[in-house]
Chains A and B, each alone.
Chain A
Amino acid sequence: LVRVAIADSGIGIWDSFRLNDSPHLLRIRSHLDAVQVALEPKVSSTDHLGFGWGQSVNAGVGLTLLKNLSVLMKGSFVLASQSGICSLAQAFELPDNSKLNGTLCPMSFQRSRLSQFADLLYMAKQQVGLISTDDDFPEMFE
Chain B
Amino acid sequence: MNERISIASEFGQFCADGGQASTFRLARLELLLSTCDKLILDFDGVRNMNSSFANALVAPLAALYPDLQNQLVFANCNQSVRVLLIAAVQLGNSRNRDVVT
Listed in ascending order, the chain A residues whose CB lies under 8 Å from chain B are: 50-52, 55, 57-59, 61-62, 118, 122, 125, 130-132, 134-137, 139-142
A141 with B55: in contact, given A50-B95, A52-B99, A122-B83 (CB under 8 Å)? no
Structural contact, B22 and A57, CB atoms closer than 8 A:
yes
Structural contact, A51 and B87, CB atoms closer than 8 A:
no
Structural contact, A140 and B72, CB atoms closer than 8 A:
yes
Contact of A57 among B40, B59, B77, B90 (CB under 8 A): B59
Contact of A137 among B18, B59, B60, B86 (CB under 8 A): B86
Q: Which residues from chain A contact B83 at a C-beta distance below 8 Å?
A: 122, 125, 131
Q: Which residue of chain B is the closest to A134 with respect to CB atoms? A: B90
B56 at the interface (CB under 8 A from A): yes
A136 with B73: in contact, given A51-B63, A59-B51 (CB under 8 Å)? no
Q: A131 vs B73: C-alpha distance in the bound complex, in angstroms?
A: 19
State the total of A-B contacts with C-beta under 8 angstroms.
67
Structural contact, A51 and B51, CB atoms closer than 8 A:
no
Decide if the interface of chain B is mainly helix, strand, loop or mixed. helix
Listed in ascending order, the chain B residues whose CB lies under 8 Å from chain A are: 18, 22, 40, 51-52, 55-56, 59-60, 63-64, 69-70, 72-75, 77, 80, 82-83, 85-87, 89-91, 95-96, 98-99
Structural contact, B82 and A51, CB atoms closer than 8 A:
no
Structural contact, B99 and A50, CB atoms closer than 8 A:
yes
A137 with B69: in contact, given A57-B22, A62-B51 (CB under 8 Å)? yes
Q: Give the shortest distance, in Å, between A78 (CB) and chain B (any CB).
A: 21
Q: A51 vs B83: C-alpha distance in the bound complex, in angstroms?
A: 21
Q: Which residues from chain B contact A51 at a C-beta distance below 8 Å?
A: 59-60, 63, 95
Q: Which residue of chain A is the closest to B21 with respect to CB atoms? A: A57
Q: Which residues from chain A contact B90 at a C-beta distance below 8 Å?
A: 131-132, 134-135
Q: Which residues from chain A contact B52 at a C-beta distance below 8 Å?
A: 57-58, 62
Contact of A142 among B75, B80, B99 (CB under 8 A): B75
Q: Which residues from chain A contact B22 at a C-beta distance below 8 Å?
A: 55, 57
